Chains A and B, each alone.
Chain A
Amino acid sequence: MSGRGLGVAILVLAGAATAWNAQGLIGHERAVRAKNLDFLPSPAVARVLACGHPNSASRLRWIDAFAYFQFQLDRKDDTVAGGASGFERLYDMLIGLDPRFEPFYQHASLCLGGVAGRHQAELAYLQRGTFHIPTATALWRTTAAVLVTHYHWDRDQTANLGLLLAAWADAERDDGAKTAVWQWQAQLARRRAPGLEEIPYWLDQLRTTSPGSAMGDFVEGILREQIARYGIEILTGVANGRRAAGEPVATIADLLDPPRLAALRMNPQLGPVVGDAGSPRLSDPFGHSYAWRDGVVISPGLELRAFVKAVRGADQRLQTLARERGGWPEDLAGVSAHGVTLPALPAGAAILYRNRHLLAELPKPSHPPLTLR
């Protein structure tokens, strides 16, 4: 073979090898991992295995663990990772390797508390965090938010809450941060509206996430859901008031009733009425207009969100069945024949079958969604 021919052969082979590799790397969805985390070593063993590089080992392990969380975010379920012990084993190991890395505690709080609803476990990690990183303002704030939101310490344990806030203020280094502690307490009273009790907690969690990240999307979704439900509650209150007064409700526009909204002490930032004073409108936090259907207030955004979750659940079921049967259906019609029940379609939505996965296609919102960051 001549030198030129060999060079061409090398180029062709290199191109083929690179393309083959790239095909496996580019254009993939976020991988959902469902492996049991029991293989993780204990913190002491992990420190030994890290061979003097506990920080780097913990970071790489943590990044590798991101793939677990999508499943849990969708299903609010951590049993796949080994149950309650799975994620705790992960966080114990990570914190054992580097107890001064704040995101570990924030992650533990969000996953165990926000996703799995295990707020006691969440509090335990937050407390460890404030012990190892006394100046971690976010951890202190989240601790206080959990105690207020889920344990009602502002009502039932005011003295202990005061002690906690005093400890927080004492841990802060500069005067501005110390003052902010008491401002936070003052804001609590203003944010206490029925249906919005958890909002302060979720807003704190939102601060610990990055825009566009899986966790960020999850928290934003939770916030919008709660705000949407709040909006439904307010508008339902308006509708009930009108009916009681003998005033008909024919369309959703009838519920744009400023006096009744004021009487219900609607939160102006989070309420269902958006837009400026000259042209108010009723919009859910997802950007869709509230609807009046069969005598009930509907948030289309909330409906679509439930639809997306249902489609994801159906897709999970499809993947499981396909692996068991050794084959995927050819088209959407075949999906039903495969034994997967498809959810009902909300207005404007569709279900697509692409690359062996079920995808939800949603209508575009008529307005920009509520800004949360």
Chain B
Amino acid sequence: MIDIIDLHLSLVGGAGPVNILRGVDLNVAPGETVSIVGPSGAGKTTLLMALAGLERATSGTVRVAGTSLAGMSEDGLARFRRERIGIVFQSFHLVATMTALENVALPLEFAGAADALERAKEALISTGLGQRLDHFPGELSGGEQQRVALARAFVAAPALLLADEPTGNLDRETGEHVMDLLFDLQQRHLTTMVLVTHDQALAARCHRIIRMTDGHLHELTDD
């Protein structure tokens, strides 16, 4: 599902270019779950963004589901995301002025699905938010907001789910509930998943744990 070869990624900051990813190689099989751990600033989120096509590689190859992201236009990448990739963020990134239902329906609406709202409703019911369809993000608790984000990420049945610290803004108990839901959805859809986390226990729930330090990946466990 994921095939990364010698990925380098530099960002230009105020003090000049910063090499964030320095020759990353990664291979993830379909249906596999991989957690990436490591200190802050190691390049974990950048790797996720490169996988989502939100950052472009400086050099190297990134292939997702057999497609190389290198030559794709910005709009081509957007189309690719809505068909193949779901993303969950630490700070949820819901549209504040849209209801839970509208937020979840977004990827389907962009894909032109006529039954976007119906499918979004089902997705929300499956995450236990059937009573919160018309609530706005500001009216939901943190855990509920992340469940809406999960429903949105899974609604288009993506082949790959990228999750960036999905429990980072939640208390332990809520975080655990959210992660149970995440793995449950992953199992149901047989989605390949890459999870960035600081939580060792959470990381341990994945098939593989990979540590990132200083822009390099080191395999820790191979289940």
Instruction: Indicate, yes or no, whether A interacts with B.
Output: no
Q: Which residue numbers of A lie inside 8 Å of B, CB to CB?
A: none
Q: Which residue numbers of B lie inside 8 Å of A, CB to CB?
A: none
